[in-house]
Amino acid sequence: MHCKHASPAPTLLTTTLLTTTHRKTLLTLMNNAPSALPDSDVETLAQRLATDPEALQLIDVREPHELEVASVEHFVNLPLSQFPAWSGAIQTQFDADAETIVMCHLGMRSAQMCQWLIAQGFTNVKNLTGGIDAYSRKIDPTVPLY
């Protein structure tokens, strides 16, 4: 397992449609979260998807228009801009102890989500290094780059 040092990037959150209260909650949680996040590389993800995808919880935090361009099978879409709509059900939708891999375009938004999940009590969260961009470049060139 590798650790990636990630610091929250509030500018990404300020461009979403979050309410002020939700934005403050996310920023507070991320600023108080550990700076080192466990990560997973795309090669490991591809191997796991090929052998036992049901053993993973896969979350894609990109926006719907990004999914229209490129996606990877088995990921559940939870766009950060829709945080108020799905955040309250996170504990019932996902198992806090199961291995959870979070993906975005390049890895910044997914790092934010990982920090938030950890703050919610998730114990086995990993950020997908390089996001879907790395997956396309290294694993599946049929996944469009954008």
Catalytic positions: 104
Of 129, 122, 108, 24, nearest to 61 by C-alpha is 108
Take residue 131 and report the two structure tokens written for it: 């996001």
**Distance in angstroms (rounded) separating the CA atoms of residues 115 and 125:** 9
